[in-house]
């Protein structure tokens, strides 16, 4: 009996301590649970905030203008691009606003001259670009285009752009993408249209080489111009769509008078390797290189790509 009484006393003495321990554990457990719930709530709140922001950003992006910059060739003026624009929109009332002309003088430290402006309501404004007569160097064009792009970004806050490059203007446009396209503030190039573009310094096919060989493997003879592109082509955004146009003026010589087909299509396989969507168009024409911007087929092809609803 005495042992039972002693055992009961011990249990009574231990019980309050045990209850106290349970209360502490319960409090601590409840505290951690509350913390976890708070953390979950914070995570949900952050996720919700990010989601709503992305929607807002998405809506804003849809309303931002996407200009098309027409890069003229070594003639040094905007006449070629104006011929293309006139061909696309003979009825001026249906045309996008031409708006802006940008001239960059490489002989005067890339002096910038701008005329006109872009309307805030125009979603697809036209920008015409040229540099001094005789410019046919891709790197010089690239630097001049950088000046023009910096102006467009700082003045109109553009984030996307299309390019139409004619002759050495196409060379300069591609060099610009290679040199500056990955900079954080550079507008993303959505569509790149090359009209009789030069990428392998006017080199014809070698003996035994076919155009299909060039399209599949690239040219046998690689000039420094081509090697510059080959060494850097992976810098091109794979999301940029490419359209390589070349006039079939002489079937026998495989040239448009100035640029051989083997030259203008020499970058085709590089773009394919880079996962770009690339199209080639060898169109029949009676017009030599200097007159191809006046060709109706050229105007219709470019219009269907850039302004399908106009």
Cα atoms in the Cβ-side hemisphere of radius 13 Å centred on 284: 0
Distance of CA 204 to the CA centre of its chain: 30
Residues of the chain with pLDDT under 50: 1-12, 15-63
pLDDT of residue 121: 83
pLDDT of residue 32: 35
Task: Report yes or no: 126 and 70 within 8 Å, Cβ to Cβ.
Answer: yes
> How many Cβ atoms from other residues are within 10 Å of residue 27's Cβ?
10
- Tokens 């649970």 belong to which residue? 33
Measured CA to CA, the distance from residue 71 to residue 125 in angstroms comes to 14
pLDDT of residue 122: 85
Task: Report yes or no: 202 and 251 within 8 Å, Cβ to Cβ.
Answer: no
pTM score, whole prediction? 0.79
Distance linking the first and last C-alpha atoms of the chain: 107
pLDDT of residue 114: 97
Helix 138-156 to helix 168-180 angle (10° resolution) is 70
């Amino acid at each position: 009996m005495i042992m039972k009484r002693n055992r009961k006393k011990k249990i009574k003495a231990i019980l309050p301590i045990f209850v106290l321990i349970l209360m502490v554990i319960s409090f601590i457990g409840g505290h951690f649970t509350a913390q976890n719930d708070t953390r979950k709530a914070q995570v949900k709140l952050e996720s919700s905030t990010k989601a709503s922001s992305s929607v807002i950003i998405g809506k804003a992006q849809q309303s931002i203008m996407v200009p098309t910059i027409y890069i003229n060739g070594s003639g040094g003026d905007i006449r070629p691009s104006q011929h293309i624009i006139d061909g696309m929109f003979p009825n001026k009332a249906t045309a996008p606003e031409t708006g802006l002309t940008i001239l960059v003088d490489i002989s005067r430290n890339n002096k910038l001259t701008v005329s006109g402006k872009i309307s805030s309501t125009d979603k697809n404004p036209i920008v015409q670009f040229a540099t001094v007569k005789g410019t046919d160097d891709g790197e010089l064009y690239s630097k001049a285009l950088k000046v023009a792009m910096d102006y467009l970004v700082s003045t109109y806050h553009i984030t996307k752009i299309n390019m139409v490059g004619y002759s050495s203007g196409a060379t300069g446009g591609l060099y610009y993408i290679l040199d500056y396209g990955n900079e954080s503030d550079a507008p993303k190039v959505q569509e790149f249209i090359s009209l009789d573009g030069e990428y392998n310094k006017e080199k014809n096919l070698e003996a035994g080489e076919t155009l299909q060989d060039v399209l599949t493997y690239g040219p046998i003879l690689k000039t420094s111009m081509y090697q510059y592109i080959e060494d850097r082509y992976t810098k091109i955004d794979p999301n940029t769509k490419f359209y390589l146009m070349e006039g079939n003026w002489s079937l026998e010589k495989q040239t448009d008078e100035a640029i051989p087909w083997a030259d203008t299509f020499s970058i085709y396989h590089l773009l394919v390797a880079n996962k770009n969507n690339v199209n080639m168009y060898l169109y029949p024409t009676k017009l030599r290189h200097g007159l191809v911007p006046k060709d109706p087929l050229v105007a219709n092809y470019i219009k269907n790509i850039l302004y399908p609803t106009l």
